[in-house]
Amino acid sequence: MNSIDFKIKNLAKIFDGKIIGDEKLIINGVSSIENANEGDITFLSNKKYSKYLNETKASAIVIDSSFSIPKSSKKTFLLVKNSYLTFALLLTEVNKKIGIEKIGIENPNFIHKSSKIGDNIYLGAFSYIGENVKIGNNSKIYPYSYIGNNVEVGENSIIYPGVKIYDNCIIGNNCNIHANSVIGSDGFGFAPNSKNEYTMIPQIGNVIIEDNVSVGSNTVIDRATLDSTIIRKGSKLDNLIQIAHNVIIGKNTVVAAQAGISGSTTIGNNNLIGGQVGIVGHLKIGDNVKFGAKAGVIKSIKQNQTVFGYPSMEKNEFLKSYIIFKKLPEIQERIKKLEGLLSSK
């Protein structure tokens, strides 16, 4: 990694931390606690990694103020309220310092004359900008991206290679749309006739992605039939997710890989949706709901619940059922013995 040269005392000011150790230390790199070298800064937020406090070669460690620091340690510690969040913010600063600042328009590309491109933008080669597109200041459109007619991309947003944004969709400020994602494709709507043939229902709505949203690679968000499919501000979508037409995902909701949300379902704020969760259509999910991986959701859920299993059920109910499920072979044997005793009488 390139040298970053951060002074530990400056980091303490930025992150409101307390230094234990060498206040004149200069940081040259960042690394995991297991693989760090001298001059690196690392972090510890999970107590199961506490053994590395004495083993790591890192010169500095960002650590929660609630953790115990070895008295014999010669390391420098930066005590903060939330080491995981602090380290994430530190990596953001590092990325700014060592990253290549891309500005300018590469060729070949197509930009319709009616489109408005902001200042300090990057437009990669082989990208396409349709009619009446608006791209905000400091945004980056990487190569082989398609931006359809009447699309709006806010400021400081990044559209990575191969992204396709269909007509009339809106992307907010500070958004990241990762490679090969598709925003605004047709919703899965077909009307059957008397011959069991299917006629496509035109999908003439759009997708609205609000500020500070991240969309992972190869994720698909379908446009609405008439109105808008909406991803509210601050939400984070992992790779390989399917969001169907007319879905609304609330603020600061996190969705893990391979989840699927069917049409016209509304998801509340601050939800945590695990990997491979499937949610059927036309449901309403409250705020602060947690979904265990592979949960199959077939009915609406009120706020502040944790659900597991298929069909999904409340956590404590699921755990009770799972205990019984594990004992089914034993229960079956007992039933066979009882049947044998009864038949012998």
**Structure-token pair, residue 201:** 């229902």
Provide the percentage of residues in the chain whose pLDDT is more than 90: 68
Note whether 170 and 245 are same-domain residues: yes
Note whether 68 and 199 are same-domain residues: no
Q: What is the CATH number of the domain that holds 11?
A: 3.40.1390.10
Within 13 Å and on the Cβ side, how many CA atoms surround 185?
A: 13
Note whether 238 and 116 are same-domain residues: yes
Q: What is the pTM of this model?
A: 0.82
Note whether 64 and 157 are same-domain residues: no
Note whether 80 and 46 are same-domain residues: yes
Q: Does residue 225 lie within any of the structural domains?
A: yes
Q: What is the pLDDT of residue 333?
A: 87
Note whether 130 and 237 are same-domain residues: yes
Which of 268, 284, 313 delimits the end of a domain? 268
Which of 241, 268, 295 delimits the end of a domain? 268
Low-confidence ranges of the chain (pLDDT < 70): 1-4, 96-101, 345
Cα-Cα end-to-end distance for the chain? 80
Q: What is the CATH number of the domain that holds 245?
A: 2.160.10.10
Amino acid residing at 167: D
Domain that holds residue 88: 6-98
Q: What is the pLDDT of residue 4?
A: 64
Note whether 78 and 198 are same-domain residues: no
- Predicted confidence (pLDDT) per residue in 70-79, tens digit: 777 889 999 9
Note whether 262 and 166 are same-domain residues: yes
Note whether 77 and 139 are same-domain residues: no
Amino acid residing at 285: I
Closest listed residue to residue 8, CA positions, set 30, 54, 41, 35: 41
Q: What is the pLDDT of residue 101?
A: 65
State how many domains the chain has: 2
Which of 230, 252, 268 delimits the end of a domain? 268
Q: Does residue 74 lie within any of the structural domains?
A: yes
Q: What is the pLDDT of residue 238?
A: 97
Note whether 25 and 163 are same-domain residues: no
Q: What is the pLDDT of residue 225?
A: 94
- Predicted confidence (pLDDT) per residue in 147-170, tens digit: 999 999 999 999 999 999 999 999
Cβ burial, residue 342 (10 Å; 0-12/13-18/19+): exposed
* 54/225 Cα distance (integer angstroms): 58
- 4-11, long-range: CB < 8 A, 24+ apart: 4/28, 4/29, 4/30, 4/94, 4/97, 4/98, 6/41, 6/93, 6/94, 8/41, 8/60, 8/76, 8/78, 11/41, 11/78, 11/90
Give alpha helix (H) positions in 56-118: 83-98
Residues assigned a catalytic role: 245
Q: What is the pLDDT of residue 314?
A: 85
Q: What is the pLDDT of residue 224?
A: 96
Q: Does residue 290 lie within any of the structural domains?
A: no
Q: What is the pLDDT of residue 52?
A: 84
Q: What is the pLDDT of residue 3?
A: 55
Q: Does residue 309 lie within any of the structural domains?
A: no
* 37/149 Cα distance (integer angstroms): 50
Note whether 136 and 264 are same-domain residues: yes
Place of tokens 């200042």: 119
Q: Does residue 335 lie within any of the structural domains?
A: no
Q: What is the pLDDT of residue 2?
A: 46
Q: Does residue 124 lie within any of the structural domains?
A: yes
Output DSSP code: residue 53: H
Q: Does residue 199 lie within any of the structural domains?
A: yes
Note whether 35 and 160 are same-domain residues: no
- Predicted confidence (pLDDT) per residue in 17-72, tens digit: 999 999 999 998 898 998 899 999 999 888 888 888 888 999 999 999 888 887 77
Q: Does residue 298 lie within any of the structural domains?
A: no
